[in-house]
């Protein structure tokens, strides 16, 4: 039987080792537990073991979980799936973060629909770093314009960029993609002081991503085990 507590401990140790080996502060890396398809009990086990950030891809599932944790302070919900424009309102109302912004239209709707009673919604722009036709995200050359647009929206806070490198690549290819992301991130940070998040790295490449400068790793399988089929 897998234990989420043990898995979390191992993943935290992996993060610490990777940070130490690249002379970085382990505290500079946030662990986002990707809980898509997982039942509330699994998330409870994670919160009981100190996990605070959760990533969800499917809106309806996510809303039910958010509701189940309504009285649990301090949890932050990150939307990391593709966004249809008719789904923006519940995202604006219920999440603290969105990692998958690649269009002004979606950003504008989130800005308009973010309740005034809440702090600004934290935004990462998704970059299609390996230029895959099947993948969401903008090209690096489109970044300055979209970033400037988001920066002007009062109810959004530009926090950084996110990428999912091409799957099944040799390690050196993935490293190179992460490196390009780090360069883009440094440029963006120099221009916008609110930028502090480089969202990259998943179960299979946590250490690699941290060595190349990730500040937030999105980890599902290594915490919760093999994904449950929807
Ligand atoms: C599912 C998912 C993850 C987690 O992937 P694992 O390989 O299970 O760690 C990370 N990021 C995004 C955007 C995802 O959809």
pLDDT tens digits, 53-80: 999 999 999 999 999 999 898 999 999 9
pLDDT tens digits, 73-87: 899 999 999 999 999
pLDDT tens digits, 176-189: 999 999 999 999 99
**CB of 149 closer than 8 Å to CB of 161:** no
Per-chain mean pLDDT for the chain: 97
Count other C-beta atoms under 10 Å from residue 147's C-beta.
Answer: 22
Q: What is the pTM of this model?
A: 0.97
Q: What is the pLDDT of residue 191?
A: 98
Q: How far is the CA of 24 from the centre of ligand 1 (A)?
A: 24
Q: Rg (Cα) of the chain, in Å, rounded?
A: 17
Q: What is the pLDDT of residue 82?
A: 96
Question: If DSSP states are collapsed to H, E and C, what string results for the chain?
Answer: CCCHHHHHHHHHHHHHHHHHHCCCCHHHCEEEEECCCCCHHHHHHHHHCCCCEEEECCHHHHHHHHHHCCCCCCCEEEECCCCCHHHHHHHHHHCCEEEEECCHHHHHHHHHHCCCCCCCEEEEEEECCCCCCCCCCECHHHHHHHHHHHHHCCCEEEEEEECCCCCCCCHHHHHHHHHHHHHHHHHHHHHCCCCCEEECCCHHHHHHHHHCCCCEEEECHHHHCCCCCC
Residue with CA at minimum distance from ligand 1 atom 7: 203
- Residues touching ligand 1 (Cβ under 6 Å) are 34, 36, 57, 80, 164, 202-204, 218-222
Q: How far is the CA of 214 from the centre of ligand 1 (A)?
A: 15
Mean pLDDT of 78-98: 97
Q: How far is the CA of 117 from the centre of ligand 1 (A)?
A: 31
Atom of ligand 1 minimally distant from the CA of 99: 13
Farthest-apart Cα atoms in the chain, separation: 49
Q: What is the pLDDT of residue 73?
A: 86
Identify which of 55, 101, 204, 207 to mutate to test ligand 1's pocket (most ligand atoms within 8 A of the CB). 55
**CB of 43 closer than 8 Å to CB of 54:** yes
Quickly state the pLDDT bin for 230 (edges 50, 70, 90): low
Identify which of 218, 223, 224, 226 to mutate to test ligand 1's pocket (most ligand atoms within 8 A of the CB). 218
pLDDT tens digits, 16-39: 999 999 999 999 999 999 999 999
């Amino acid at each position: 039987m897998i234990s989420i507590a043990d898995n979390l401990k191992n993943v935290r140790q992996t993060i610490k080792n990777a940070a130490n080996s690249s002379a970085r502060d382990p505290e500079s890396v946030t662990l986002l537990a990707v809980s898509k398809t997982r039942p509330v009990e699994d998330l409870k086990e994670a919160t009981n073991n100190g996990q605070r950030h959760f990533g969800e891809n499917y809106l309806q599932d996510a809303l039910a979980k958010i509701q189940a944790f309504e009285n649990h302070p301090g949890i932050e919900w990150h939307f990391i799936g593709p966004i249809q424009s008719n789904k923006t309102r519940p995202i604006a109302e219920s999440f603290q973060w969105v990692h998958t912004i690649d269009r002004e239209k979606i950003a504008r709707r989130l800005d308009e629909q973010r309740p005034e009673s809440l702090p600004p919604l934290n935004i990462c722009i998704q970059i299609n770093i390996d230029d895959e036709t099947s993948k969401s995200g903008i090209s690096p050359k489109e970044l300055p314009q979209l970033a400037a647009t988001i920066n002007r929206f009062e109810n959004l806070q530009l926090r950084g960029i996110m990428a999912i490198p091409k799957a099944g690549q040799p390690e050196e290819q993935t490293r190179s993609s992460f490196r390009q992301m780090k360069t883009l991130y440094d440029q963006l940070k120099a221009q916008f002081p609110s930028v502090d998040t480089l969202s990259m790295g998943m179960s299979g490449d946590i250490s690699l991503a941290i060595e190349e400068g990730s500040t937030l790793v999105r980890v599902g399988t290594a915490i919760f085990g093999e994904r449950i089929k929807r």
